[in-house]
C-alpha cells in the first residue's frame, strides 16, 4: 500500500474548501517541529511528499494525499493537519486553525483515525493535552505516536512510553497502544503501517 502511487490531491484552509469525502482517511496532527512531515515521507517512502520545513507554523491548511494503485482509484487518504503550539503565530491564526480543525474533525465520516504525534524527547505537553481534549470531544478514534525515538537513549524508551501512557490516562478516548518510532532510523514505522492496515480492514 505505502509503496504505491501517492499524490497530493487537495489543500483546504477553510471548512467549505474541503475535498468531497472519498476513500478512508487517516489524519496526522502534532506540534510544529514534532517530525510530522518527516513521518509522512517515511511512511510513504517518499522523500518530498510533505515538505520538511524548518519554519514551523507556516502551513495553516489541511493537505490531502491519496494512496493507491493509480490516482483514479485511491485506497487511502492521508490528511496532514497544520502543526500547532507555535508561539510566533498570531491569535487570529490560532483561532482559524482551531475552527478548521474542530469543523473537520466533527464532520468527517470517512475519517478513521487521527494519529497525534508527540516528540518522544519532550513528552505530552499542555498544547498536546488541548489537542487530545478536542479529540475526546469530537468522539473520534485517535492514537498517540511518539517521534524521534533515535534521539532517546535505549534505557529510557520504556520510561518514555510509560510516562506517555500515564499522561493519556486523562484521555479515556485515546487508543491504548502508543507507538514510539523514528522516521530517521525507520525503527517501528512498521508498527504505524500495521495500525493503518488494520484500520482499513475493519
Question: Which of 6, 26, 27, 32 lies at the binding interface for ligand GDP (CB under 6 A)?
Answer: 32
* H-state helical runs in the chain: 36-43, 91-107, 126-138, 157-168, 189-201
Q: Which one of 148, 152, 160, 178 is in contact with ligand GDP (CB under 6 A)?
A: 148
Task: For the CB of residue 108, give the shortest distance to ligand GDP in the complex, in Å.
Answer: 21
Instruction: Based on the shown chain and the rule CB under 6 A, indicate whether residue 146 belongs to the binding site for ligand GDP.
Output: no
Query: Can you tell me the distance from the alpha carbon of 154 to that of 64, in angstroms, rounded to the nearest whole number?
Result: 35
Contact stretch for ligand GDP (CB under 6 A) within 17-25, 32-40, 102-110, 190-198: 32-40
User: What's the rounded Cα separation, in Å, for the pair 168 and 175?
Assistant: 9
What residues form DSSP beta bridges with 10? 64
Task: Verify binding: residue 83, ligand GDP, rule CB under 6 A.
Answer: yes
Residues contacting residue 174 through CB under 8 Å, at least 6 positions apart: 132, 135, 136, 142, 143, 144, 168
Is position 61 an interface residue for ligand GDP (rule: CB under 6 A)? no
Residue count at the site for ligand GDP (CB under 6 A)?
Answer: 19
Interface contacts to ligand GDP, rule CB under 6 A: 30, 32-38, 52-53, 56, 83, 147-148, 150-151, 182-184
Amino acid at each position: 500500500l505505502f509503496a504505491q502511487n501517492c499524490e497530493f490531491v487537495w489543500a483546504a484552509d477553510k471548512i467549505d474548501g474541503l475535498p468531497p469525502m472519498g476513500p478512508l482517511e487517516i489524519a496526522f496532527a502534532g506540534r510544529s517541529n514534532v517530525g510530522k512531515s518527516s513521518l509522512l515521507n517515511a511512511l510513504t517512502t517518499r522523500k518530498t511528499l510533505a515538505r520538511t520545513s524548518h519554519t514551523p507554523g507556516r502551513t495553516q491548511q489541511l493537505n490531502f494525499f491519496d494512496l493507491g494503485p493509480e490516482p483514479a482509484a485511491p485506497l487511502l487518504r492521508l490528511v496532514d493537519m497544520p502543526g500547532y503550539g507555535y508561539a510566533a503565530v498570531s491569535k487570529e491564526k490560532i483561532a482559524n486553525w482551531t475552527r478548521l480543525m474542530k469543523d473537520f474533525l466533527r464532520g468527517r465520516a470517512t475519517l478513521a483515525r487521527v494519529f497525534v504525534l508527540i516528540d518522544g524527547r519532550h513528552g505530552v505537553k499542555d498544547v498536546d493535552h488541548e489537542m487530545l481534549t478536542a479529540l475526546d470531544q469530537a468522539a473520534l478514534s485517535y492514537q498517540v505516536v511518539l517521534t524521534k525515538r533515535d534521539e532517546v537513549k535505549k534505557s529510557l524508551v520504556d520510561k518514555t512510553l510509560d510516562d506517555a501512557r500515564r499522561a493519556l490516562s486523562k484521555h479515556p478516548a485515546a487508543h491504548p497502544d502508543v507507538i514510539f518510532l523514528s522516521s530517521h532510523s525507520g525503527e517501528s514505522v512498521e508498527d504505524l503501517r500495521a495500525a493503518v492496515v488494520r484500520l482499513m480492514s475493519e
